[in-house]
Amino acid sequence: MNIEAIAKAIETDAGFELPELRDSLAEMHAGINGRTTTAEQSLIILVRKKLGLSQPAFVELIKTPVATLRDWEQGRFTPSGAVLCLLKIIDNHPDLAKELAV
């Protein structure tokens, strides 16, 4: 199993880097069962951390309750398509996040 080739293909399909993907693939290959992380969860966490924001600061920026963000990050709920679109834009253009703050 070529973990790096598989990870690159998945990230290409997702359109963004998935930081924990290689570890997850290695665990899967070894037969270790663990938690499941979706691409949406990874995107939310990636964007928030890329901006260097805590959960409370991030929800203030995107006008969402902190409990909702926690549900998204923990995989209990999936954000709407509009939220995912906003996150992809912020991921590609982090400087635009400043415009949301006004």
pLDDT in tens, 78-89: 999 999 999 999
* pLDDT-derived band at 90, boundaries 50, 70, 90: very high
Residue 98: is its pLDDT beyond 90?
no
Q: Which residues contact 37 (CB under 8 A, 6 or more apart)?
A: 20, 24, 75
CA distance 53 to 25: 28
CA distance 57 to 19: 22
What's this model's pTM, rounded to 2 decimal places? Answer: 0.67
Give percent of the chain above pLDDT 70. Answer: 99
Report whether 36 contacts 25 (CB < 8 A).
no
Cα 82 to its chain centre, rounded Å, is 15
Report all structural domains of the chain as residue ranges with CATH numbers, in order of start: 1-37 (no CATH), 39-100 (1.10.260.40)
Tokens encoding 12: 């290409």
How high is the pLDDT of residue 71?
Answer: 95
